[in-house]
Amino acid sequence: MTQTRLSRRTLIKGAAGTALLAGVGMPAISRGQADVIRIGHLTPRTGFLGPLGEYAVLGIQLAAEEINAAGGVMGRKIELVLEDSVNPQTASAKAERLIERDKVAMLIGEISSASGLAIGQVAQRTRTVFINTGCNSDAMRGASCNRYMFHIEAANSMYVQGVGQYLLKENLVKGKKWFSLTADYAFGHDLLRVAKLFMEKNGGQFAADELIPTDLTDFSPFLLKIRQARPDLVVSNLAGNQITNFLKQYSEFGLQFPVAGFGFDTAVAWGAGKGNFFGIWPLVWHHLVDTPSSKAYVASFSKKYGKLPENQSWGDYNSLKIVARAMTETKSTESQKLAEHLAKGAKFDIMKTREGYFRAYDNQMVMEMYAVRAKEPAQMKDQWDIYTPLGSVPETNQELEIIAPPKDGACKMA
């Protein structure tokens, strides 16, 4: 059974916490402790990204249970130390605490790019491996890259390429006017920059782009602007619950302009409810991917939690499986050895048609991306049946790296 601690406060409330504070009954734990390997997990479980963070926790807990049931890693059990990262300042402080006090072997998680950047700085300073499972900002693979920060989550440029190919096929780019709504923080700013580069390259233009505060719940002022602008395409560069609220209110306003997104998580569409999801969207993975390992994960997750997994759970689940394999192959939990091993280009089954690998240039996982189209309400069999897969990008005869972030020299590994 996986041992999980939600926070220091939870620990202190328990008998074990009392013993720890008293200095009796519980020996000091180090990265080299014989019986367990501690893994620190940071992700937002409150705020507008909270619903995604909950899926992240479910995914990594399932992975830990499966690893431990199979004998653990080098005969040692995985113990997760789970923390709510909340915001960049809290994420940085908790990352340091996990490393210095809890003596975790490495860090996994995060969704907010701003918090991910903060955790990445801690990882670099303490020389601790951090696998990013949900932050999309290209800057984390560029000027802010470092040799201890790895990315199983796709970069914004990969999401734009993933859905952009289908927008081109449907003549929604060249000569068209886009109206974009963008989350006003690091992720959104970076995604807007990448989206504009794609648009300019392919002959389109922006009618307008609006920055949306992350705590905004009323989209009516922006929906009125969209109605007045009459764009050819409404583009979402939103995140988390922003997407859910936007979709619901767009439907309530009765607007008929086509919608597409450059960033997306299945959970936010499930949260919008039947009849409130439409358009074309990109995904790093979805539960309809037709591979043996993907089907097995969907079955295991559904059996344990009574619901389907979505893309955020995929990232955290696979990250821990990759870490377990790397530790077994290197026969070590030392971050230096893990970082070197992961960057050597080993290929991993990540539930897709083709295996993925971390490329040495920026530690980005190179892999397939997907695009989906929302179903009409009448075509939905149940609350989970909300989209139809359009296919994978790149095509099978193309190299995977053509959709990876450009090697523009911005990433300087220390």
Has residue 11 got a pLDDT over 90? Answer: no
Domain 157-283+369-403: CATH superfamily, name plus number: Response regulator (3.40.50.2300)
Instruction: Please give the Cα distance from 332 to 187 (Å, whole number).
Output: 34
The CATH fold assigned to 3-154+290-366 is: Rossmann fold (3.40.50)
**pLDDT tier, 26 (very low <50, low <70, confident <90, very high otherwise):** very low
Of all residues in the chain, the percent with pLDDT exceeding 90 is 90
- pTM of the shown model: 0.90
pLDDT reported for residue 15: 35
Instruction: For residue 212, give both structure tokens.
Output: 């949306």
Angle 308-85-99 from CA coordinates, rounded to 5°: 110
pLDDT reported for residue 50: 95
**pLDDT tier, 13 (very low <50, low <70, confident <90, very high otherwise):** very low
Q: Which 3 state secondary structure label does DSSP give 279?
A: coil
pLDDT reported for residue 18: 36
Instruction: Please give the Cα distance from 290 to 287 (Å, whole number).
Output: 8
Has residue 19 got a pLDDT over 50? Answer: no
Q: Which of 22-26, 161-165, 369-373 comes out lowest in average pLDDT?
A: 22-26
- Asked if domains 3-154+290-366 and 157-283+369-403 share a fold, the reply is yes
DSSP 7-26: -HHHHHHSHHHHHHHHT-SS
Average pLDDT (143-153) is 97
pLDDT reported for residue 274: 86
Has residue 68 got a pLDDT over 60? Answer: yes
Average pLDDT (153-159) is 97
Q: What is the pLDDT of residues 390-400, one digit of tens each?
A: 999 999 899 99
Instruction: Please give the Cα distance from 139 to 145 (Å, whole number).
Output: 7
Beta-carbon neighbour count of residue 48 at 10 Å? 24
Q: What is the pLDDT of residues 249-287, one digit of tens each?
A: 999 999 999 999 999 999 999 999 888 999 999 999 999
Has residue 60 got a pLDDT over 50? Answer: yes
Instruction: Please give the Cα distance from 362 to 376 (Å, whole number).
Output: 40
Cβ atoms of residues 335 and 106 within 8 Å = yes
pLDDT reported for residue 33: 52
Q: Report residue 258: phi and psi, to 5°.
A: -60, 150
Beta-carbon neighbour count of residue 218 at 10 Å? 9
**pLDDT tier, 12 (very low <50, low <70, confident <90, very high otherwise):** very low
Residue 178, beta-bridge partner list: 206, 233
Q: What is the pLDDT of residues 245-256, one digit of tens each?
A: 999 999 999 999
Residue 150, beta-bridge partner list: 131
Sequence-ordered alpha helix ranges (H) in 127-265: 156-169, 186-201, 220-229, 241-253
Residue 364, beta-bridge partner list: 151
Has residue 9 got a pLDDT over 60? Answer: no
Distance of CA 183 to the CA centre of its chain: 16
**pLDDT tier, 22 (very low <50, low <70, confident <90, very high otherwise):** very low
Of all residues in the chain, the percent with pLDDT exceeding 70 is 92
Has residue 227 got a pLDDT over 90? Answer: yes
Instruction: Please give the Cα distance from 212 to 219 (Å, whole number).
Output: 9
Return the half-sphere exposure (C-beta side, CA atoms, 13 A cut-off) of residue 203. Answer: 7
C-alpha closest to that of 267 among 116, 6, 44:
44
C-alpha closest to that of 241 among 210, 275, 277, 268:
268
Q: What is the pLDDT of residues 191-201, one digit of tens each?
A: 999 999 999 99
Average pLDDT (366-387) is 95
Residue 181, beta-bridge partner list: 210, 236
Crossing angle for the helix pair 311-330 and 50-69, nearest 10 degrees? Answer: 40
Average pLDDT (175-186) is 96
Cβ atoms of residues 137 and 113 within 8 Å = yes
Ranges of each domain in the chain: 3-154+290-366, 157-283+369-403
Q: Report residue 214: phi and psi, to 5°.
A: -65, -20
Judging by beta carbons within 10 Å of its beta carbon (0-12, 13-18, 19+), is residue 210 exposed, middle or buried? middle
Instruction: Please give the Cα distance from 67 to 59 (Å, whole number).
Output: 13
Cβ atoms of residues 122 and 95 within 8 Å = yes
Q: What is the pLDDT of residues 120-145, one digit of tens each?
A: 999 999 999 999 999 999 999 999 99
